[in-house]
Copies of this chain bind each other. A is one copy, B any other.
Amino acid sequence: MSAPLPENPRIAIVGSGALGCYYGARLAKAGNDVHFLVRSGRAAVMARGIRLKTPTGRIHVKKVAAYGTAGEIGPCDLIIVSVKATANDALAKILPPLMGANTLVLTLQNGLGVEEPVANVVGAAHVLGAICFVGCTRTAPGVVQCSFPGLVMIGEFGRPVQARTRELAQLFEKAGVKCEAHDNLEEMRWKKLVWNVPFNGLAIAAGGVTTDIIMADEGLRTLARRLMEEIVEAAAKLGHAIPRTFMDLQFERTAKLERYSPSSLIDYHEGREIELEEIWGEPVRRAKTVGVPVPRLEMLYWLIKRLLAARKAVKKAR
């Protein structure tokens, strides 16, 4: 049995990108005791707070508790990890000062294998994961534009929902964030990949294209479907049954997005890190452990890996 989440939990937000600011500010605005670990732009956040522009109005958290190190924050009841998976090496230093005996660590990261690095630092029993269906962009330090508030799905790492999982979902709900607790985090992650692998991947590998182009190009659309099938087959062999209709649903939803730039494409164009291993590399490796051939997924992984290496080389040369 896990300990309950305290009535007024002390919360740390690790990472002050779009998601960290958005959920952290929502939680703070709802009266929670929120502490932000802010690496870049801290002065701006301390001076002007965090501002959210959402479809239903503006939210301004004027006084933000922003810190430069985890040691200044100290132990918390809940840690929300919203740095990118590509920054996970830093967690070994950041997380320990924030931990207490019953601290929950919720990672918002994308892809597969994102709970493991957190578990390696704090112990698996503390770890939960979230899948965020949300449209948020950080336009300046502490300023976030939210086009689509969406939904957060949370789950325990390798365990079904606990009492604390529901309490955590309640905490989000009270802060105005739609949140569902699910029993099978791993399966949710595979389901998210059904869209992310083809659409984020082909957006980059096909020369920087938006979803409308993938949908209109017969070859790319078929390829997106084949990639989905590889993901679904690998997931099935790993015990996660994803119905084929779920794939159809992805295409229906994507058609409605019209000219949408997947987040990885935006990151790619803006020279930011991309979760190469979590979205493409780790699924390939897991499929191999159960002998499911994923030739297209692997090819996509290798092509994107090369494209990112080339971008890095160009950056270095500048």
Could you list which residues of chain A lie within 8 angstroms of chain B, going by C-beta atoms? 205-207, 209, 213, 217, 219-220, 222-223, 226, 295-296, 298-303, 305-307, 309-310
Contacts and interface: CB of A to CB of B under 8 A. Distances in A.
Contact of A306 (B220, B295, B303, B310): B220
Contacts of A220: 302-303, 306
Contact of A207 (B209, B219, B222, B307): B307
A303 B205 contact: yes
A115 to B, nearest CB: 26
Contacts of A303: 205-206, 219-220, 223, 303
Given A220-B306, A223-B298, A223-B303, 15 more contacts: A205-B303, A206-B303, A207-B306, A209-B306, A213-B306, A217-B302, A217-B305, A219-B305, A219-B306, A223-B299, A295-B299, A296-B296, A296-B299, A299-B299, A303-B303
26 contacts: A205-B205, A205-B303, A206-B306, A206-B307, A207-B306, A207-B307, A207-B310, A209-B306, A217-B305, A217-B309, A219-B301, A219-B303, A219-B306, A220-B302, A220-B306, A223-B298, A223-B299, A223-B302, A223-B303, A226-B295, A295-B295, A295-B296, A296-B296, A296-B299, A299-B299, A299-B300
Contacts of A310: 207, 209
Q: Secondary structure at chain A's binding surface: helix, strand, loop or mixed?
A: helix
Nearest to A214: B306
Contacts of A207: 306-307, 310
A219 B307 CA distance: 12
Nearest to A294: B295
A219 B296 contact: no
A218 to B, nearest CB: 8
A99 to B, nearest CB: 37
Nearest to A213: B306
A223 B305 CA distance: 13
A219 B302 CA distance: 5
A209 to B, nearest CB: 7
Contacts of A217: 302, 305-306, 309
